[in-house]
A = this chain, B = another copy of it.
Amino acid sequence: MAHVEVHRDDIELDEPTLVEGLPGIGLVGKLAADHLVEANDMVHYGTARCDGLPEIAVYSEGDPTVRSPVRLYADAEGELLVLQSDAPVSPDAAESFAGCMVDWFRGEGVTPVFLSGMPAERETDPSLYGIATGEGSALLSEAGIDSPTESGAITGPTGALVHEAQRVGLTSVGLVVEADPQFPDPEAAGTLLEAGIVLLTGVEVETESLAKQAEEIRQTKAQLAQQMQGGGEESTSARPLGFQ
């Protein structure tokens, strides 16, 4: 319960599934999670208050209200949560962040679905497989999600989250999808939703807009590369958040 500030006491969590959407390779997790929030009108349920998270002030077009960068969204039934982040979690903070979040997951009976891209140059649809901690293998089987087609490791903040879930024995699953190593990859994010999250949770979500985004990105890759170069932290500035 600690470390997550809950804003909506009217929503009662009912052993929810949580879709994790930290930025990573191809932004696949973030794109899938953000899309789920927007397409399904999920509400801002809580805010992660873990040590080491970036202390930046985030806002959205048309709304002056400032939010913290790492937030939880919920559906009305309290059965689905999304972890949305507008900034990367630094490697130094990954371990304490993982401990902070997994602790809360256990306390609230949350089953997380972690998302990761696997860098790949592909010409066909992106392939996807699942990994699991605790009793997660059964969830993958029920959903008909394949086992890994190769040995591998998930690193970074999502790796720390999966590692911590494994360490404490929390049931979770992870979805690994082939993704563009350089550019945002909405097509791979769509695969995470259609061939993973929908099968695991039964949630309904259209993915046409992601397909449209994928088309746009194909046309503007050079421009995006420039926009994604981060600036230093010393001088204060506001930055546009293109993918929200």
Contact = CB atoms under 8 A, between A and B. Distances in A.
A68 interface: yes
Contacts of A61: 147-151
Interface stretch (A76-84, A202-210, A229-237): A229-237
A162 to B, nearest CB: 4
A152 B63 CA distance: 11
Interface string A55-93: 111111111111111000000000000000011101100
A70 to B, nearest CB: 11
A153 B176 CA distance: 29
A159 B59 contact: no
Nearest to A54: B155
Given A131-B57, A162-B66, A237 B151 contact: no
Contact of A116 (B24, B65, B118, B237): B237
Contacts of A159: 55-57, 236
A64 B235 contact: no
Name the residue in A49, A63, A66 with the highest tally of chain B Cβ atoms < 10 Å from its Cβ.
Answer: A66
A233 to B, nearest CB: 4
Contacts of A158: 236
Contacts of A174: 57, 66
A186 interface: no
Contacts of A66: 131-133, 162-163, 165-166, 174
A152 B239 CA distance: 5
Interface string A116-131: 1111000000000111
Given A64-B140, A132-B65, A162-B66, A152 B238 contact: yes
Given A57-B162, A62-B148, A153-B239, 17 more contacts: A55-B94, A56-B154, A56-B159, A57-B163, A61-B147, A63-B147, A66-B166, A68-B167, A86-B153, A87-B153, A88-B234, A94-B233, A117-B237, A150-B240, A153-B241, A155-B231, A155-B233
Q: What are the 8 A-B residue pairs with the smallest beta carbon separation, nearest first?
A: A24-B236, A156-B236, A57-B162, A158-B236, A91-B233, A25-B237, A151-B241, A118-B238
